[in-house]
Amino acid sequence: MRVRFAPSPSGQLHVGNARTALFNWLLARGSGGAFILRIEDTDVERSTPESEATIFRDMRWLGLDWDEGPDVGGARGPYRASERLHLYQSYATELLNAGAAYYCFCSTERLEEERRAAVAAGRPALYAGTCRQIPPREAEARIHAGQPAAVRFRVPENREVVFTDVVRGDVRFHTDVIGDPVIMRPGGMPAYNFAVVIDDALMAVTHVVRGEDHISNTPRQILMYEALGFPLPEFAHLAIVLGPDHTKLSKRHGATSVAERRLKGYLPEALVNYLALIGWSPGGGDELLPIHELAKRFSLSDVVSAAGVFDEEKLAWVNRHYLKMAEPARLAELTLPFFRAAGFEMAPDAIGVEFLASVVPVASGVVDRLDQVPARLSFLFAYDPAMALTDEHVRGEMRAEGARSVVHALAEVLAGAPRLDRDGFRAAANEVKAKTGQKGKALFHPIRVALTGRTEGPELDLAIPAIDRGAELPPDAGLPKILGCRERAAAFVQSLG
């Protein structure tokens, strides 16, 4: 099995296209076949090298590696359409010589006029066939005289093109509704419908798996395969991905590119797993499976033909699962850009990373995305009691009966205590309880407020030891300074006045 993903490099990798790439990848990896990345960059106006680079980057980030492609090469390259122009030219000549294609000298204005007239008359806007009957020798003479011309494919009359789409079943088109398509533009660039046939055939692609927006192109392509004597591949058209309002997923629905998802803190394995579940189910009752397991189970015939809706809640659920599974050290590295974006200067060394790895799971187990982690851990790096005391919630907690006595007792107890681990914290809390007679919320709320500067946050059993481990970090660990609990309690009392 040889499959391909053939993006046009004109913008970011859209999640819908990433799903197409993923399904191709799953097929290749599940069957021991080859996955080809081909860049369709013949639309000179819209194609950019930057876009190509972002496609490579995002595919790699998702873990969708390719066996053949512009950067890795392969036996059937080149893998950039713009480097294959000689091939398109030579096959176009072959079709011209066989009479299966002809030169078209119609001007853009004329074609546009015809199109408008057809639409006004309620007819399909097909090419009128003006240049179909020009004798080849006359056409050659006009070309030699320098007249600009496109090359059109001669669509056979009165035929039905039928193919069995792996996802959608039998699909039929009558050639009456297919106008002769341009295959080479006047400037020498191929049209998509032509280039894709040459490329898929010469690259020996066995299964063309792509978005259903290409279904009406398929009969044209099949006719070209026939005219060129190429064997037909299987076709599978994947239903489009819709937004929650059941219109095509677009910017209006939020983050539509893979890059935006990465920047919001989704893990690649979560996005991959989620995308695989749009329109397909691995069966066996489990949906949360690593990519290689998905590949083992994937089958095109199980892909549904109905459109899938992009479900943010489900993606969040899948991401939470992978956040809980991820290695702490990896999470620490992945979270750094989010801390920096939140204004924390961080360039941790090995010790700093080790510390972050010990604290990030405290937050990553309860958030949907990595971009929510810094806010949950800011109590470590940004402690400011005077500022905290300007917050209405904090003031409210401190107005509660006995709250001030708890905080004073805490400062006294901690003044002589070593750094707190979990047991040390429990012992200190018990001492405060004995000194003040406060317990439960009346004890722990003021303690939380005094030691974290916040009314909410992770369990104190986790938060407090984290603060005091942080306080022991060497100054050159590359993290913002963390004030210890002893110092925090004293500072809080002072700020209380």
Asked if residue 6 binds ligand GLU (CB under 6 A), the reply is: yes
Asked if residue 236 binds ligand GLU (CB under 6 A), the reply is: no
Asked if residue 466 binds ligand GLU (CB under 6 A), the reply is: no
Site stretch for ligand GLU (CB under 6 A), options 2-10, 256-264, 402-410, 460-468: 2-10
Coarse DSSP helix, strand, coil percentages of the chain, rounded to the nearest 5 percent: 55, 10, 35
Asked if residue 203 binds ligand GLU (CB under 6 A), the reply is: no
Asked if residue 195 binds ligand GLU (CB under 6 A), the reply is: no
- Distances from the Cα of 263 to the Cαs of 12, 120, 151, 342, in angstroms? 13, 48, 45, 13
CA distance 200 to 196: 6
Tell me the CB-side half-sphere exposure of residue 224, using CA atoms within 13 A. Answer: 29
CA distance 428 to 431: 5
Site for ligand GLU in 206-225 (CB under 6 A): 210, 214
Q: Least distance from C-beta 147 to ligand GLU, angstroms? A: 30
**Residue whose CB is less far from ligand GLU, 241 or 336:** 241
Site for ligand GLU in 272-301 (CB under 6 A): none
Q: Least distance from C-beta 211 to ligand GLU, angstroms? A: 6
**Residue whose CB is less far from ligand GLU, 210 or 220:** 210
Candidate list 28, 196, 198, 300; residue touching ligand GLU; CB under 6 A: 196
**Catalytic residue flag (residue 296):** no
**Residue whose CB is less far from ligand GLU, 39 or 432:** 39
With a CB cutoff of 8 Å and minimum separation 6, the contacts of 363 are 372, 373, 376, 377, 458
**Residue whose CB is less far from ligand GLU, 7 or 385:** 7
With a CB cutoff of 8 Å and minimum separation 6, the contacts of 105 are 131, 134, 139, 142, 147, 148, 149
| Residues 460/351, Cβ–Cβ less than 8 Å | no
Asked if residue 40 binds ligand GLU (CB under 6 A), the reply is: yes
Helices (H), ranges, 241-281: 258-263, 268-276
How many residues in the chain? 497
Q: Least distance from C-beta 36 to ligand GLU, angstroms? A: 11
Coil, helix or strand at residue 208: strand
**Residue whose CB is less far from ligand GLU, 141 or 232:** 232
Q: Which residues of 445-460 are buried (b: 16+ CB within 10 A; e: fewer)?
A: bbbbbbbbbbeebbeb
Coil, helix or strand at residue 210: strand
**Residue whose CB is less far from ligand GLU, 236 or 398:** 236
Asked if residue 249 binds ligand GLU (CB under 6 A), the reply is: no
Q: Least distance from C-beta 419 to ligand GLU, angstroms? A: 58
Q: Which residues are catalytic?
A: 251
Binding site for ligand GLU (CB under 6 A): 6-8, 40, 196, 210, 214
